[in-house]
Amino acid sequence: MSVPLQKVTDKSVRPPAKDFAEIREWNKTRERFLTRVRELGNNVRVMASDFISGLKSRLGQDARARKSEFAELYATAVYQLNKRGIKLERIEKQLARFELSLPSWAFAAGGTRFFRFPFPGEPRDIYEKVEDAAMVNLLTGMAPRVALHYPWDKTRDPKSLLWHAKRLGLWFDAMNSNTFQDHPGQKLSYKSGSLCHSDASVRNQAIGLNLESVKFGDGLGCKSLVVWLGDGSNHPGQMHFRKSFDRYLDSLKKIYRRIPADWKLFLEYKPFEPAFYYTVNFDWGCSYAAAKQTGERCRVLVDLGHHLPGANIEAVVARLLQLKKLGGFHFNDSKYGDDDLNAGSINPYRLFLIMTEIVDAAGEKSAAQLDLSFMIDQSHNVKDPVEEMIQTCEELAAAYCRALLVDREALSEAQEKNDALMAERVLKEAFESPVQGLVAKVRMEKGGAFDPIVFFRKTRCRSQLIQRRKKEG
Ligand code: PSV
Ligand code: MN
């Protein structure tokens, strides 16, 4: 793996901490970090945070230059929403609290099982992935966390990774374990399954990998483990349905018993792929049953793309919220299946309806208080992954904002009267509201760009990444 280098100066490692305890902690980390830099003869990865600070000052200029455009956009929203008696302050406050986690694994170009077309300047390791995530967070102001994948994101020095993320204003969210492929040096193969394998030694190895990923994540401040399995079969008769599910439950319980008390375990389901006939955890019902048997801190994770065409995902979300078993989301969109497309790109109305269920369950609270993990998990095969991630953040913010605008009283009245037409009109009125001005206001108040994608292109972020990563490679 290549190791891009930025010269470590005292200035670049000065802790921005405010209180003494934090400063002490920073100093300890800094000392260890510098020792390591010395040990490796300065040939160690150090984050080029100058790039990010450079962008910050450009953002200030951009905000001033686009002031009148913003005022016009915001005035449109104010005019329309005030007419409907909506209190914008409350909406803006809720919107400001809506935050997303970015998946480390989606910053490099995705691919299909046929091929992958790499993107110039794409990140080469977890440090560069975090750097790309910081850029998305900076421009959108709403994605301060990164979800990790293990062992893909394994590093020899987790402390330096944590330090690197903190310097860029980021935290880590869920740890996702990977037993859907074999890893270098691994003793037994997962070809015929992992946590549900017929052989107990393979199951134990997979349990071990999950616990290892928890240990790694714990040091980074993660508080949840997402288990998604490829376990299943391609041919009728190949795998015993009941036995495989029993093994799944048994393995989950073993993992659950050993995760830290402040951690949650999320079970992610998927109907097919890589198994094409039967998947052990194929739908929300399987996940729910398993979560219920495993324990209180075990919840269901809904990946939007993991449903068969036509599934009513918003109803699934409502049911899980009602049963207090929803853990969080992997947001994306799909035309046929899986997480191939970006959230809201195919069916923005469905995304809005899902958000509407979240807002409905939150009641007077904000969605942020529901204790759900809002993660993105999508594959960027054609568009620039950073741009597509920015686009996704904007799409999710707009969907959430529209859901906040639903006239709950009018909807409930229409539902009680069985007035289908009026109920639908209430939803459509919110869905069609001009929310861009509100979303831009909240974003800019958090230091983001008026138009993040235009900013990303105008400041030639991608070509700078290409140049830097080429030079340092
Ligand atoms: C599987 O399709 C999935 O949605 C799971 O969340 C994985 O962890 C992720 O994609 C990356 O492969
Ligand atoms: Mn997923």
Rounded to the nearest angstrom, the distance between the alpha carbon of 169 and the centre of ligand 2 is: 25
Q: Which ligand is nearest to the CA of 270?
A: 1
Which atom of ligand 1 is least distant from the CA of 105?
Answer: 11
What pTM, to 2 d.p., does this model score?
A: 0.90
The finding on whether 338 has its CB within 6 A of some atom of ligand 1 is yes
The finding on whether 167 has its CB within 6 A of some atom of ligand 1 is no
The finding on whether 303 has its CB within 6 A of some atom of ligand 1 is yes
Q: Quote the pLDDT of residue 14.
A: 37
Which atom of ligand 1 is least distant from the CA of 176?
Answer: 8
Rounded to the nearest angstrom, the distance between the alpha carbon of 268 and the centre of ligand 2 is: 7
The finding on whether 176 has its CB within 6 A of some atom of ligand 1 is yes
Q: What is the mean pLDDT of each run of 10 residues along the chain (473 residues)?
A: 33 42 54 50 46 86 94 94 93 96 96 90 95 96 98 96 94 98 97 98 98 98 98 98 98 98 98 97 98 98 97 98 97 92 97 98 87 96 96 98 97 98 98 97 97 96 88 66
Rounded to the nearest angstrom, the distance between the alpha carbon of 228 and the centre of ligand 1 is: 7
Q: Quote the pLDDT of residue 366.
A: 82
Which of 339, 340, 373 is the pocket-test mutation for ligand 1 (most atoms within 8 Å of CB)?
Answer: 339
Q: Quote the pLDDT of residue 55.
A: 87
Rounded to the nearest angstrom, the distance between the alpha carbon of 230 and the centre of ligand 2 is: 12
The finding on whether 352 has its CB within 6 A of some atom of ligand 1 is no
Rounded to the nearest angstrom, the distance between the alpha carbon of 283 and the centre of ligand 1 is: 14
Q: Which ligand is nearest to the CA of 149?
A: 1
The finding on whether 469 has its CB within 6 A of some atom of ligand 1 is no
Which atom of ligand 1 is least distant from the CA of 178?
Answer: 8
Secondary structure string (H, E, C) spanning the chain: CCCCCCCCCCHHHCCCCCCHHHHHHHHHHHHHHHHHHHHCCCCCCCCCHHHHHHHHHHHHHHHHHCHHHHHHHHHHHHHHHHHCCCCHHHHHHHHHCCCCEEEHHHCCCCCCCCCCCCCCCCCCCHHHHHHHHHHHHHHHCCCCEEEEEECCCCCCCHHHHHHHHHHCCCEEEEEEECCCCCCCCCCCCCCCCCCCCCCHHHHHHHHHHHHHHHHHHHCCCCCEEEEECCCEECCCCCCCHHHHHHHHHHHHHHHHHHCCCCCEEEEECCCCCCCCCEECCCCHHHHHHHHHHHCCCEEEEEECCCCCCCCCHHHHHHHHHHCCCEEEEEECECCCCCCCECCCCCCHHHHHHHHHHHHHHHCCCCHHHHCCEEEECCCCCCCCHHHHHHHHHHHHHHHHHHHHCCCHHHHHHHHHCCCHHHHHHHHHHHHCCCCHHHHHHHHHHCCCCCCHHHHHHHCCHHHHHHHHHHHHC
